[in-house]
Structure 1
Amino acid sequence: MTRAAGTVAVVVALAIAAAPVAAQPASSVPAGAAAAVPAELVSIARLADPVLPEPVAWLPQTLGWQILAGLLVLGVLWLVWRAARRWWRNRYRRDALAEWRQLEARWQLEPDNAAAVLTALPVLVKRCALSAWPREQVASLSGAAWAQFLEVHAGHATHGAQALAPLVREMQYQDQQQLARVPAHDVRVLLDASRQWIEGHVSA
């Protein structure tokens, strides 16, 4: 009986030793262990904010670029000055073209009044030339000499100057009756020729 009790005690002890260890209850885990923050995140949080570079300036920083920028500004100012000077010098040309348009409109409204238009055209061309050249160089010109002057200074309006030659050589000295018989086609040619010379002549 004693030997049997001892055997039972040994078996019970072995069974207890072989049994798995029970999991610890959740209450035995420390409360702060589940919310622990990784060390890497803590290190990143302690870093200082990055320092951003200064914005790039639009103005040139080196001497060479400053000189180039200055030259560009001077070039633009020179172009503006040249355009303004040319516009101012050509104001007489714009005035002459305005009077020419009035003559053309007058002829279109009164085709039978060609004599008045042909009388006014050479006067308009002479006034235009007097605005572009010294008076002593232009005022005394007439006939063939005047026609030659118009052609020499015609610029890209050479054909216009050649078409004007009959008007300034002969026709402007005719009376009103003779001018009234000039065909409408010839009047149109002379109007266009005078406009071409006013627009294209090369002034002094």
Structure 2
Amino acid sequence: MMFALPAQPPAPSIADLKDIPLPPPVPYTPQTMGWWVLLALVLLVVLWIGALRLRRWWRNRYRRAAQKELAAIEHAMADPSQRQQALAAVPALVKRTVLTWAPRDTVAPLSGEAWLGYLDRTFAGERFTRGPGRHLQTLAYGGADIASGDTDALMTLLHRWIDDHVPA
């Protein structure tokens, strides 16, 4: 009996190499319906928040206009020749600001202590009847010039009031 030696395998050759199959491409879009629902909900929430912010921005446009006019009045008060005229414009600005959101028949006839009391109800505390806001009454009727420190306190109060008042 003769034993045959196993045949030598042929030497490997580059021609014998086979291509490695690539996996199928993975899509970047979600495959299940749950992800589409989640995407829709997130978009709805983003749109809702955007709409609320836009509405708030639109409703506060009178505040931005009042702040801009108050800054112009403060700038005019720096000039001594325009100080009296600028101070006289302050009470009118406050009244116009209130009339943008309050009923005209309720607010327009108010003057004196009733007007200052109404302003106190729109802002926390008694800063108009007992604080620097009391000078509005003097300025509304062309009263004497108020001191520089009182003017600064009044302007600070009005800036805060314009930003933070709550319509009564």
User: Is the shorter-chain TM-score for this pair beyond 0.5, marking a shared fold?
Assistant: yes
- Residue identity in the other structure for 1:189: A
How much has 1:160 moved relative to structure 2?
5.5
Whether 1:88 and 2:58 are equivalent positions in the alignment is yes
Alpha-carbon deviations, 1:29-82, whole Å to 9, x = none?
xxxxxxx9525x57952x34313222232x332222221111110111111111
Whether 1:63 and 2:72 are equivalent positions in the alignment is no
Alpha-carbon deviations, 1:77-120, whole Å to 9, x = none?
1111111111111111111111111110111122x654323321
For normalisation by structure 2, the TM-score amounts to 0.78
| Structure 1 equivalent of residue 74 of structure 2 | 104
CA distance in 2 between partners of 1:189 and 1:104 (Å):
12
1:179 to 141, 144, 149: 144
- Please provide the CA RMSD for this pair: 2.7
Whether 1:52 and 2:23 are equivalent positions in the alignment is yes
1:194 to 148, 158, 161: 158
| Structure 2 equivalent of residue 147 of structure 1 | 116
1:73 to 43, 56, 66: 43
Is the contact made by 1:93 and 1:198 (CA closer than 8 Å) also made in structure 2?
yes
**Alpha carbons of 1:142 and 1:192: their partners in 2 closer, same or farther (altered >3 Å)?**
same
Is the contact made by 2:133 and 2:154 (CA closer than 8 Å) also made in structure 1?
no
CA distance in 2 between partners of 1:60 and 1:198 (Å):
49
For normalisation by structure 1, the TM-score amounts to 0.66
How much has 1:135 moved relative to structure 2?
1.7
**Alpha carbons of 1:127 and 1:173: their partners in 2 closer, same or farther (altered >3 Å)?**
closer
Q: Which is higher, the Rg of structure 1 or of structure 2?
A: 1
CA distance in 2 between partners of 1:200 and 1:159 (Å):
14
**Alpha carbons of 1:159 and 1:66: their partners in 2 closer, same or farther (altered >3 Å)?**
farther
CA distance in 1 between partners of 2:144 and 2:118 (Å):
24
Alpha-carbon deviations, 1:162-196, whole Å to 9, x = none?
6354124x413544xx422x211112211221121
Unpaired stretches in structure 1, ≥5 consecutive residues: 1-35
- Residue identity in the other structure for 1:192: T
**Alpha carbons of 1:151 and 1:37: their partners in 2 closer, same or farther (altered >3 Å)?**
farther
| Structure 1 equivalent of residue 3 of structure 2 | none
Is the contact made by 1:118 and 1:179 (CA closer than 8 Å) also made in structure 2?
no
CA distance in 1 between partners of 2:69 and 2:113 (Å):
25
2:100 to 123, 131, 140: 131
Query: Structure 2 matches for 1:161-172, cutoff 5 A?
Result: 161=128, 163-168=131-136, 170-172=137-139
Task: State the SS of the aligned residue for 2:155.
Answer: helix
Is the contact made by 1:154 and 1:197 (CA closer than 8 Å) also made in structure 2?
yes
Unpaired stretches in structure 2, ≥5 consecutive residues: 1-8
